[in-house]
Amino acid sequence: MRKLKLFGAVLGFLLFVIGIVMSYFAVRNLSKILPTDCYQDEGIHTFEPYDILPIQVENHMTGRYQRMNPTRTVYMVYYQTTDGTGYQWQAEGGSVRELAEQVYNQGAVERRVLSIPTENTYITVAADQTAESYTSGLRQRHMFTLGVSGVYILVYLVGWLVVWQRKKRLEQKKQGL
């Protein structure tokens, strides 16, 4: 029983720390979201695949496998517009070349281009998205993360307050007897 209580306390504290870290990153990412009016809609463009290249990315596995293989190979499918505007986009095709070739063989993809004039760059989003829906989706995702981690932090702190109060009452009863 004692080991189970210790395990629960350690796991609870670990989740508490993870909740704090998630809250930090959610707030940081929320503050980095550009306002909708910073994006300029360049319209929907057709992107044709033109190359598949392997790249090395950080291995997010855990344990011995991650230590022995700190990076892993991922095949990226590179696209460019067919209308000569020069926009490019890339999509992860998977860790097996055959999967990337399947993505490549699917052919042209339509994407909406949103330019960011203040940063002299652009992003591509799904054709049915707009700047408003893109920023709204980002905000929703980060607010959900912040909400879940905030609720856990609150529950954890209330739980510890209840445990602390219970111990305090037990000590007072022992002293009163």
Instruction: List strand residue ranges (DSSP E) for 95-147, in order.
Output: 109-116, 121-126
Mean pLDDT of all residues in 54-62: 82
Q: Is the pLDDT of residue 170 over 70?
A: yes
Q: Is the pLDDT of residue 120 over 90?
A: yes
Distances from the Cα of 64 to the Cα of 15, 58, 59, 70, 154, angstroms: 23, 15, 12, 10, 35
Q: How many residues comprise the chain?
A: 177
Distance CA 159, CA 171 (A): 19
DSSP 36: G
Q: What is residue 93's predicted lDDT score, i.e. its pLDDT? A: 87
Confidence band for 65, pLDDT divided at 50, 70 and 90: low
Q: Name the helix (H) or strand (E) containing 90.
A: strand 88-94
- The predicted-structure confidence for 128-165, as pLDDT tens digits, reads as follows 999 999 999 999 999 999 999 999 999 999 999 998 99
Confidence band for 79, pLDDT divided at 50, 70 and 90: very high
What fold is seen in the domain 36-128? Answer: OB fold (Dihydrolipoamide Acetyltransferase, E2P) (2.40.50)
- pTM of the predicted model over 0.85: no
Distances from the Cα of 69 to the Cα of 59, 64, 93, 149, angstroms: 7, 8, 20, 31
**Domain residue spans of the chain:** 2-32+140-176, 36-128
Distances from the Cα of 15 to the Cα of 140, 143, 147, 161, angstroms: 22, 19, 15, 17
What average pLDDT is seen over the chain?
Answer: 91
Q: What is residue 59's predicted lDDT score, i.e. its pLDDT? A: 77
